[in-house]
Amino acid sequence: MIRIQARTEPSSLMKVASPLLAILLTLIFGSILFSAIGKSPLQALQVLLIAPLADTYNIGEMFVKMGPLLLCAVGLSLCYRANMWNIGAEGQLLAGALGGSAMALYFIDSDSAIALPVTLLAGIASGMIWAAVPTFLKLRFNSNLILTTIMFNYIALYLLIWAVHGPLRDPQGFGFPESAMFTQATLLPTLFESSRIHLGIVFAILSGIIGWFILSKTHLGFQIRVFGADEPAARYAGFNSKKLSWLVMLFAGALAGLAGVSETTGPIGQLVPNVSPGYGYSAIIVAYLGRLHPIGAIIAAIFMAVIYMGGDLAQIEMGIPVAVVSMFQGVLLFFLLACDFFINNRLSFSNQATN
């Protein structure tokens, strides 16, 4: 007879194993799904997982996708650690892209050395503003952060679409809803020849390290963790909840904004309506898969970037709709949450009869 038993101490092995188990289960689920729709599961997995890492160009593209995912996920990890349910990374990313692009277009005829830093700062500031408004509304008016940040995602999207149809549209662009291409002064330098890997990935990995440093080495990070783990204890200890909330939200907004401006000044090179294929939402999954730990997020972001690449390849090579990516993300999070159950519980196999 199999019974579920609560563990006396949470299992530290399962804390690490649970994400890996969840990934494995998601792959099994994927295989079954592909069989069900008449595709070869092995081929599908090859396309989804192996092909993205098969040659240097693809690996480069993988890093290009990893950058924004990681930037957003590090910020979200800190927010979620502090129990601030910021679902607005997508909107903050779009705001960063929009604000940064406006600045890049301002510098379009310039070759000034400050053009790029100022453009990046404009993107960061825009992301922070987009995070600041819901934070203010929560702290001042007690409005639900989840809902306001979601609404701000939609508002940012329509604002961006409006901008590329209107004020930021390329006058020579034959009416396409796109900005002009940015000039060299405002483009992020690439790291290698013949690859699109750009400075953004460096920002991302740095952000992960900074996030880790804050959480585990500083008093502020400790306060953030207490705040998320046990709010009454944080209030009892006298931690300043408003300060901490502002801090994590602005940090997340800045990183998401940086992700956005890095996309437009990096691989894209202009402002287009579909800057983000849902990076801000996927970053939620990345944050969870990385156990809300900034270093964990680095590993999780690699996996998520592979899935993104794989989704693109699967569409091109096998005609599988690209939506499969977000479906897998959802399934992955389901499995992760289910596996986490076994951190505090275990199965016991016993023949002991009751009564």
Partner 1 sequence: MKTHNSISRLELANITKQYPGCLANDNVSLILMPGEIHALLGENGAGKSTLVKTIYGVVAPDKGDIIWDGKEVSIKSPSMARDLGIGMVFQHFSLFETLTVSENIELCLSKHQLNKIGDLAARITQLSTEYGLNVDPSRYIHSLSIGERQRVEIMRCLVQSVKLLILDEPTSVLTPQEVAGLFDVLRTLSKEGCSILFISHKLHEVTEICHKATILRGGKVVDTCIPNEETPATIAKMMVGDLAEQEAGYTKAEGKTVVFSVNNLSLPSKQPFGTTLKNINLDLKAGEILGIAGVAGNGQDELMAIISGEDTRNVKQTISLNNLDIGHLHAGERRKLGMAYVPEERLGRGAVPDMSLTENTLLTHSEGFIKNGLVQWQSIKDYTKDLITKYKIKCHGEFSEAKSLSGGNLQKFIMGREIGQNPKILICAHPTWGVDVGAALAIHQALLQLRDKGAAILLISEDIDELFLLADRMAAVCNGHLSPLVKTEHTNIDQIGQWMAGTFINNTSAHTQEQEAKA
Partner 2 sequence: MDSDLIVQILFAAVKTGTPLLFIALGEVICEKSGILNLGQEGMMLMGAVVGFLAAYSTGNMGFGVLAAMLMGSIMSLIFAVLVLQLGANQVATGLALTIFGTGLSAFVGAGFVGQTIQGFPPIAIPFLSDIPYIGRILFSHDILVYFSFGMTAVLFYVVNKTRIGLTLKAVGENPNAANAIGIPVLKVRYLAIMFGGAMAGISGAYMSLVYTPMWVENMTAGRGWIALALVVFASWRIGRIMLGAYLFGLASIMHLVLQGMGWSISPNLLAMLPYVATVIVMVIISADHFKEKLLAPRSLGKPFDPRNMA
Binding residues for partner 1 (CB under 8 A):
5-10, 217-220, 222, 225-226, 229-230, 232-233, 235-240, 354-355
Q: Which stretch binds partner 2 (CB under 8 A): 15-23, 57-65, 155-163, 203-211?
A: 155-163
The torsion angles phi and psi of 347, rounded to 5 degrees, stand at: -90, 135
Name the residue nearer to partner 2 (CB basis): 1 or 6: 6
Name the residue nearer to partner 1 (CB basis): 184 or 354: 354
Name the residue nearer to partner 2 (CB basis): 162 or 222: 162
> Which of partner 1, partner 2, none has residue 193 at its interface (CB below 5 to 8 Å by kind)?
none
Q: Does 137 bind partner 2 (CB under 8 A)?
A: yes
The nearest distance, CB 94 to partner 1, in angstroms, is 33
Helix (H, G, I), strand (E, B) or coil at 108: coil
> Which of partner 2, partner 1, none has residue 308 at its interface (CB below 5 to 8 Å by kind)?
none
> Rounded to an integer, what distance in angstroms lies between the CA atom of residue 348 and that of residue 352?
11
Name the residue nearer to partner 2 (CB basis): 5 or 240: 5
E strand or H helix at 5, and its extent? strand 2-6
> Which of partner 2, partner 1, none has residue 316 at its interface (CB below 5 to 8 Å by kind)?
none
Q: Report how far apart the first and last C-alpha atoms of the chain are (Å, whole number).
A: 14
Q: Does 130 bind partner 2 (CB under 8 A)?
A: no
List, in order, residues 6 or more apart from 229 with CB less than 8 Å away.
none
Q: Does 166 bind partner 2 (CB under 8 A)?
A: yes
Say how many residues make up the chain.
Answer: 355
Within residues 292-331, the interface with partner 2 by CB under 8 A covers 321, 323-331
> Which of partner 1, partner 2, none has residue 226 at its interface (CB below 5 to 8 Å by kind)?
partner 1
Name the residue nearer to partner 2 (CB basis): 299 or 327: 327
Name the residue nearer to partner 2 (CB basis): 45 or 333: 333
> Rounded to an integer, what distance in angstroms lies between the CA atom of residue 272 and that of residue 281?
19
Q: Locate 139 and state its tokens.
A: 């702290």
The torsion angles phi and psi of 346, rounded to 5 degrees, stand at: -145, 160
The nearest distance, CB 237 to partner 2, in angstroms, is 22
> Rounded to an integer, what distance in angstroms lies between the CA atom of residue 94 and that of residue 294?
22
List, in order, residues 6 or more apart from 215 with CB less than 8 Å away.
78, 81, 221, 224, 225, 293, 294
Q: Does 82 bind partner 2 (CB under 8 A)?
A: no
> Rounded to an integer, what distance in angstroms lies between the CA atom of residue 140 and that of residue 239?
18
User: What residues are paired with 345 via a beta bridge?
Assistant: 6
Q: Does 108 bind partner 2 (CB under 8 A)?
A: no
Q: Does 196 bind partner 2 (CB under 8 A)?
A: no
Q: What angle do CA 256, 329, 267 make, to 5 degrees?
A: 45
> Which of partner 2, partner 1, none has residue 232 at its interface (CB below 5 to 8 Å by kind)?
partner 1
> Which of partner 2, partner 1, none has residue 13 at its interface (CB below 5 to 8 Å by kind)?
none
Q: Does 272 bind partner 2 (CB under 8 A)?
A: no
Q: Which amino acid is at 27?
A: L
Q: Which stretch binds partner 2 (CB under 8 A): 48-56, 69-77, 109-117, 332-340?
A: 332-340
Residue whose entry in the numeric block shows the structure tokens 């092909």: 51
Q: Which amino acid is at 106?
A: Y
Within residues 8-37, the interface with partner 2 by CB under 8 A covers none
Q: What is the DSSP letter of 348?
A: E
Closest CA to 271 of 351, 142, 182: 182
> Rounded to an integer, what distance in angstroms lies between the CA atom of residue 138 and that of residue 130?
13
> Which of partner 1, partner 2, none has residue 150 at its interface (CB below 5 to 8 Å by kind)?
partner 2
Interface positions with partner 2 (CB under 8 A):
6, 85, 87, 137, 141-144, 146-148, 150-152, 154-155, 158-159, 161-162, 165-166, 281, 284-285, 288, 321, 323-331, 333-334, 337-338, 340-341, 344
